[in-house]
Amino acid sequence: MTGLLTFTATGRESDRTATAELRVLHKKQPPPVTGSSLSTPMKLGGGLVGAGAVMLLLTLAWRRRQRLGGAAH
**From CA 22, how far away is CA 66, in angstroms rounded?**
74
68 assigned to some structural domain: yes
- Whether 9 is covered by a domain: the verdict is yes
In total, how many domains does the chain have? 1
Q: Is residue 31 part of a domain?
A: no
Paired residues of 10 in beta bridges:
17
* pLDDT of the chain, 73 residues: tens digit per residue: 678 999 999 998 898 999 999 998 888 877 776 666 667 778 888 999 999 999 999 999 888 888 777 555 4
Global pTM reads 0.41
Domain extent at residue 8: 3-26+40-72
CA–CA distances in Å: residue 43 to residues 11, 32, 51, 72: 60, 21, 12, 44
Candidates 65, 57, 35; CA nearest to 49 is 57
Distance CA 25, CA 36 (A): 30
